[in-house]
Chain A
Amino acid sequence: MSAALQQHAALDPRDRGGPAQPLLAVSGLRKHFPIRGGLLNRQVATVQAVDDVSFSVAKGETLGVVGESGCGKSTTARLLMQLMRPDAGSIVFDGDEVGAQDGIGVQDLRRQMQMVFQDSYSSLNPRLAMVDSIAYAPRMHGLPARQATQRAEELLMQVGLNPALFARRYPHELSGGQRQRVNIARALALEPRLVILDEAVSALDKSVEAQVLNLLAELKARLNLTYLFISHDLNVVEYISDRVLVMYLGRVVEAGPVEQIYGRPRHPYTRALLASKPTLDPDRRTTVLPLAGDPPNPINPPSGCRFRTRCPYAQPRCAEVVPPLGPPMDALSGAGGGHIVACIVPEAQAGTEIRHVA
């Protein structure tokens, strides 16, 4: 991996801090949405969509983000892209803080960081032919029209669509998989270094999803890309990620190398999430309910550990302190390759079987 990183650094003239400096470092990111109502339209509640989220993405890696609806994974992506302003926290892109005086501006950031959304149809302008959709951003960034079109045709080729057939087509004339290829081409038009894929393959049929996953792997290798891959599909995240971040109700509950998270999860939520995955083996069906109830509402979430209301290991002190992210309790110091977990109960981390006291 380090060889690949060095090669990456040598190839990319935009690289600043070298391979050891994370491409993206997020710390203390927060976004709360006020809910207004009542007679005077006062603020009556707060949705704590993202609350004190910190993580980093190394150059050349794929960081997977998993979690259920309302866990804040998509809000995080939108905050990173500056589609929304965070309430607090810093975003540092290759050493430059976003929006800071001596940092990187939003326009420069978007040259280097692009996003692909879930809905392939609504993210394309229905009145623009594919080639014009892809050429739009390069033109806005100053490339002459003819060169921009030429670049768009190259990109269509790169994502496996023949420009002679597809350049002049409109979004409604393409299948979902083809449209998502166009969205990927468009995201690549400014030669970004980081691509955020927000449920980018979730709406596709399985046979088409596999095609797009292969394409993403190929493009990553060819263009030295770094991915932030957000998905609710645990199998796909395991397939594509080097490291995984697990979110629950706006907070990170566990993060680490994919083998650790899937092989030896320490947070009781991560374990329940993985146990909820359908098994694909009719002889080993799920027989024990991994987790009862629905995810709680992110409006006024539980105090302390937000998972405690569904956690079989919960203790009184879980309500009092927000569990800090730290290495697993049973890990030798320095071991674990950056595996961190936010849980203060040793039995919960170890997954000790619970004896129900009648």
Chain B
Amino acid sequence: MSPDATPATPAIEATGLTVRFRRRGEPEICAVNGVGFALARGQVMTILGESGSGKSVSLKAVMGLLPPFAKVEGQVRIGGRDVLSLPPAELAKLRGGQVSMIFQEPMAAMDPVYTIGDQIAETIVQHEGTDRATAMARAKRLLDRVAIPSAARRLKNYPHEMSGGMRQRAMIALALACSPSVLLADEPTTALDVTVQIQILMLLRELQSELGMAVVFVTHDVGVAAEISDRIAVMYAGRFVEAGTVREVMRTPQHPYTRGLLASTVHGGMRRQELRTIPGNPPSLAALPAGCHFRPRCPEAVSRCMEEPPVVSPRPGAMVRCVHAERAARAADAVPA
């Protein structure tokens, strides 16, 4: 199901990624149910989904950050190596080196008892074996690069001494310390004020094109996705239901869920109109409906939706998981060229 537009060696490639949470005495939670994508260096793919759709869990699975009772299956290749089967020591070397992650809450990602400078320098020393002075000098350049004013002084700050926006910048500097080829971003702007959010988005865009990273960006915000992505994958109940370029997905959404999500997103020019909504609530991940998981809320559901929905590729590099898309694609094929 990975798009055809994929170049020969993607920076990150996932196939059939599934995550199940199993705890004794509780029903099994099917958080991620077969996610696949491939991303080349220099591309930003956004996973767009609502809470509980499995978007953050997918990222954490790639980084090996899930608790022991999570059962992760499938394959994730970064730089040609299968991440999920790496021994812990190798995985530690990969994390913070070739692949890094930034989070919604920087306080959770940084150590409160070390200064910003110490944390960045430590990462560089660990991964590249340089001496501390060199590492500290690079830490200062990194803080400069993420536009933290008076970087030399800020190196000596503890995370709690910085404002929310500055902490987010410091975390980005930490993540970029060893020039990763893949950056995973888990809602990094969600907790920020709107004027700071746009600063961080513009910074990430700049750094991404400068360093040529592959970025997997997770968000629930359609506007943020439009600002940052090359490609969008829409996730619902643990699966991608639609993927394509940002323009395709935002302008000609194919899946009924994508259409509903875009229609229910309030924006200028909708004043006083009744909003189109998606009825009901997302399904429980412990009891997913059979067939298409969106079926119980779908205005276009038919009896065939009780079966596993087909994955259709309406255009090269795009995918839709819906019976209606299949019919549309077949009709298009039947038209003589």
Chain A interface (Cβ within 8 Å of chain B)?
68-69, 175-178, 205-211, 213-214, 217, 232-236, 238-239, 258, 262, 272-273, 276-283, 285-286, 289-295, 297
Contact = CB atoms under 8 A, between A and B. Distances in A.
Contacts of B194: 68, 232, 234, 273, 276-277
A278 B275 contact: no
A290 B198 contact: yes
Contacts of A208: 281
Contacts of A277: 194, 223
Contacts of A285: 226-227
Given A262-B268, A282-B246, A210 B227 contact: no
A72 B224 CA distance: 26
B206 to A, nearest CB: 11
B195 A295 contact: yes
Given A209-B264, A286-B227, A214 B247 contact: no
B198 A206 contact: no
A67 to B, nearest CB: 9
Given A238-B268, A286-B198, A295-B193, A206 B227 contact: no
A108 B282 CA distance: 40
B169 to A, nearest CB: 10
A259 to B, nearest CB: 9
Q: Which of A232, A278, A293: most chain B CB closer than 10 A?
A: A278
Contacts of B227: 278-279, 285-286
Given A232-B194, A272-B195, A280-B222, A214 B268 contact: no
A178 B281 contact: yes
B54 to A, nearest CB: 14
Contacts of B166: 294
A209 B50 CA distance: 11
Contacts of B163: 294, 297
Given A278-B227, A294-B165, A294-B166, A211 B202 contact: no
B153 interface: no
5 shortest A-B CB distances, which residue pairs?
A278-B223, A210-B264, A68-B193, A205-B50, A207-B278
B276 interface: yes
B250 interface: yes
A258 B51 CA distance: 31
Contacts of A209: 264, 266
A294 B267 contact: no
Contact of A205 (B51, B193, B201): B51
A337 B50 CA distance: 40
B43 to A, nearest CB: 14
A217 B193 contact: no
B229 interface: yes
A205 B275 contact: no
Nearest to A211: B277
B78 to A, nearest CB: 27
A278 B226 contact: yes
Contacts of A217: 274
B151 to A, nearest CB: 15
6 contacts: A206-B264, A214-B274, A239-B275, A278-B201, A279-B226, A294-B196
Nearest to A287: B202
Contact of A206 (B261, B268, B274, B281): B261
B36 interface: no
A69 B192 CA distance: 9
B246 to A, nearest CB: 4
Contacts, number: 121
B223 A280 contact: yes
Interface in B178-228: 193-199, 201-202, 220-224, 226-227
A295 B195 CA distance: 9
A318 to B, nearest CB: 19
Contacts of A205: 50-51, 220, 282
Given A177-B281, A233-B266, 13 more contacts: A207-B260, A210-B266, A213-B266, A235-B266, A239-B266, A273-B194, A276-B197, A278-B224, A286-B201, A286-B202, A294-B165, A295-B193, A295-B196
Contacts of B331: none
B265 interface: yes
A322 B227 CA distance: 37
Given A205-B50, A290-B198, A282 B277 contact: no
A126 B278 CA distance: 28
B268 A207 contact: no
Contact of B164 (A211, A289, A290, A294): A294
Contacts of A293: 165
Contacts of A175: 281
Q: Which of B166, B261, B271, B276: most chain A CB closer than 10 A?
A: B271
A289 B198 contact: yes
B270 interface: yes
Interface string B277-315: 111011000000000000000000000000000000000
A283 B267 CA distance: 17
Contact of B277 (A214, A235, A279, A281): A214
Nearest to A281: B226
Contacts of A273: 194-195
Contact of A276 (B198, B250, B260, B278): B198
Contacts of B201: 278, 286
Contacts of B197: 276, 278
Contacts of B199: 289, 291-292
A209 B164 CA distance: 26
A107 to B, nearest CB: 35
B258 to A, nearest CB: 11
